[in-house]
Structure formats: structure tokens, C-alpha cells
Structure 1
């Protein structure tokens, strides 16, 4: 028997595949280099297409950045949801622990989320305004608590910023610090995320004291 021929890929499918490759390259470049540090040449070299092709699909660097960030948020929210679904929180304290645990897992699974947050979150302008409106993962933002006072503390006070910034900073900067330490010691990076289960629980318990002070 002869080998079956693969069905021809339609032009529509080819365009979608090319667009997907560009988007993957953009996510990697914007996360690693930031908006200002990323040039079209970085993206075209990464995905193997011409600049004109990138502009055909996304019209401008700004549009490409927004679409790339949207894709990162969608992936982060999916990873967060999958991790959270494994939990069965029975109290507000259990919900907060489950939320932070799922957030950490998602940051490890989708490192571009934390990288973009750290690179773009401190630069005032239209991109920061856009991030404020679009960077919150929907599932995480939708979690409610029985205690209304706790709900307000986590949603509307500085506690929210402390939790988010602490989780993103520790988890996202961890691999960078591990690589820097390895370089200083003349060793190769282990290639593993340094957020072990023990350190993860340490981080969660430290932040629990902020949410539920003694």
C-alpha cells in the first residue's frame, strides 16, 4: 500500500499558521526585550517571515504588542483555571491559599506574563493604561469571598497590589537570579525553576500573614 498523501493546506490555513508563528515570536520577544527593546528584525528572525508579512497581519507594532499580550493573558488564565480546578477551597483562608497557589503555578507555566508585567508595568503611558484595563486574568478576578471586608481588602486596597507584585516578582525573577548566581559561581544554570514546593509554601504562608494579620 502506498503512503496516503497529506491533504493540501489551504491559503486560509497558511495565513493562520503564519499569523500564529508571528504571534508566538512576538510574545517571546516582547516578554524578553520589552516593547521599546523589540524591533521588527527580532520578530522576523524569530519566526522566519518578512516585515511586510508581519505588517500585513497586524498593521503596526502597537497592534502586534496588544495581540501578543492578549494571547499571554489567555494562556495565563487557562493555566490558572486548570490549577485552581484541582483545589476545593472550603473557607476564605483556603480560597486565598488556592488562589495564590494557582497564580504561582500559572506564572511558572506562562513566564511571559510576569516578564511583561515587570517590563511594562513601571512605564507610564498608553501601554500601561491598556495593561491596567486588560492584564487581569478573568478567572482570578472573578473569585469571591464570604467575608465582604476581606473582599474589599483584596480587591480595593494596597493588599491586592502587595500580593500581585510579590508573587510576580519572586516567581518571575527567580530563574533570572538562579542563572545570575550560577554565572557568578562559574557554573551552568540548572535549567529548572527554583520555585520548589517548599519555597512555594513558604511564599504563600508569608503572604497569608498580610491578608490575615495575627
Structure 2
């Protein structure tokens, strides 16, 4: 019997271990393409966070964002269309990251009196500022050039955190634990002190040789904030006991 062409091909394949069908590299699946897009988006957003924190919105270009991400500038417009769109994406990612590490939920603090609850919040904010100063720097940039971006940032992300301090301070005033000061002045004094100090961390290191990112320095700074805030700077006269 004369072997057909197909049988010869199959027989050759069995002897050589090669398939009779030519192997070809398939096109990436939709899922793979989505993962690639997500990966490129993540790289661009990460680059954007660093760029906007360092230079501010007006100075940053999409070319700089793409260059720092190791990508072509066209990829920025492919994913985000405008510079403002990637700025918002950067803020959203930054706030998600901070929210995972420093959640606003304070259920575990509900049994504390307002003063001790406020002390815990201050320590948390100092640590948050120490571990990632990107948000603080972006706030400073946007605060010096107020406009629609600042309003969007405040309404969507900043107010919930500020309100947490406001509510604790208000409760402390009503309970008689804290002096009756305008609440916003207390909240902004706390937040501005921590945020600005870490934005100027290189100045602290240059003038005093202290690395504020160090765990010891972080705790020292939080302790000093709490002492100044709740006890003041004036030392007690010798022999005077602790009135607390």
C-alpha cells in the first residue's frame, strides 16, 4: 500500500519527536494584553507620583513622566489622554496606598478619651509623613497655586482625614479636656507641622545631622510634637509635680 503524504508526515513525527504541525507563536490573549496595559499604567502612575511631588503640576511634562518610566511619551496619552488625567490617577493611587497602611477607621480608639485619641492620631500622621512625603509635597504645590485641582483633592481625599482630627478636637473641647480654640487652627497646626517638617527633612539633616526617616528620630519628633502641643515648651519650676 502506498503511504499517503499525511501518514509519512505522521511517521516522521513519531520517529523524530517533532510535530507534523509547524509550531508558531500565538498572539497574546486579551488577558495578557490587559496585564501589559496595567503594568505600563502602573509604571507611568508611579513615575507621575514622584514627578508631581518633586516639581509640581505646572512644571511636570508628560515627556518627563514617560522618560522616568522608561516609556515613550505616546504611552501617556494612550492611557490617560491628558496631563490632568494622569495627575488624578497618581493622586488616587497614592491615596489607596496610604489608606492601606494608615486606614482612617478608628474603631479601636473609641474607648480612649479625646486627648489620648488625638495623641494616637498625631503619632500616626507623623509616621505617615515620614514614610511617604509625596502627598505632603503635592499638597504644598497645590496649596500655593489654588484652583480646581486643589478643590478636587480636598473634596475627594483631604477632608475625611481633616474631619477626623476636627471631630476629636471638638469632642475634647466639649468634654473640657482641651482649650476652646478654633478647631481648624488646632487641626492645621498639627498637620502642617508634621507635613512641613518632613518636606524639609533634607534641611534638618544638613543643619543638625539627623535623618528624620530613622525610627529613633521619628519617635523623637512625635514625642516633641505631643509635648509642645499638650504641655508647652516652658519647663516646670523645680519641685513642681506633674499636674496631669
TM-score (norm 1): 0.76
Q: Which residue of 2 aligns with 1:193?
A: 213
How far off its partner does 1:74 sit?
Answer: 2.0
Q: Which residue of 1 aligns with 2:114?
A: 92
Structure of higher RCO (CA pairs closer than 8 Å, 6+ residues apart)? 1
How far off its partner does 1:79 sit?
Answer: 2.3
CA deviations on 1:12-36 (whole Å, 9 max, x unpaired) are 1000011010000000100011111
- Return closer, same or farther for 1:190/1:200 CA change in 2, 3 Å cut-off: closer
For 2:148 and 2:139, the matched residues in 1 are separated by: 14
Q: Which residue of 2 aligns with 1:150?
A: 173
For 2:185 and 2:123, the matched residues in 1 are separated by: 20
Please give the root-mean-square deviation of Cα atoms over the aligned residues, in Å.
3.5
- Return closer, same or farther for 1:24/1:133 CA change in 2, 3 Å cut-off: same
How far off its partner does 1:171 sit?
Answer: 2.6
- Return closer, same or farther for 1:141/1:154 CA change in 2, 3 Å cut-off: farther
How far off its partner does 1:82 sit?
Answer: 9.1
Q: Which residue of 2 aligns with 1:163?
A: 190
Q: Is the 8 A contact 1:72 1:110 kept in 2?
A: no
Task: Give 2:152's match in structure 1, choosing from 127, 130, 133.
Answer: 130
For 1:166 and 1:32, the matched residues in 2 are separated by: 19
Structure 2: unaligned runs, 5 residues or longer:
1-28, 175-179, 233-243
Structure index of larger Rg: 2
The count of residues paired between Structure 1 and Structure 2 equals: 198
CA deviations on 1:143-181 (whole Å, 9 max, x unpaired) are 754964638x799532222222122112322x2213544
For 1:35 and 1:70, the matched residues in 2 are separated by: 15
- 1:56 and 2:78 aligned: yes
Q: Is the 8 A contact 1:44 1:51 kept in 2?
A: yes
Alignment of 1:57-72 (within 5 A): 57-72=79-94
SS at match of 1:49: coil
- Return closer, same or farther for 1:80/1:201 CA change in 2, 3 Å cut-off: same
When structure 1 is superposed on structure 2, of 198-207 and 81-90 the one drifting more is 81-90
For 2:61 and 2:169, the matched residues in 1 are separated by: 48
For 1:84 and 1:166, the matched residues in 2 are separated by: 22
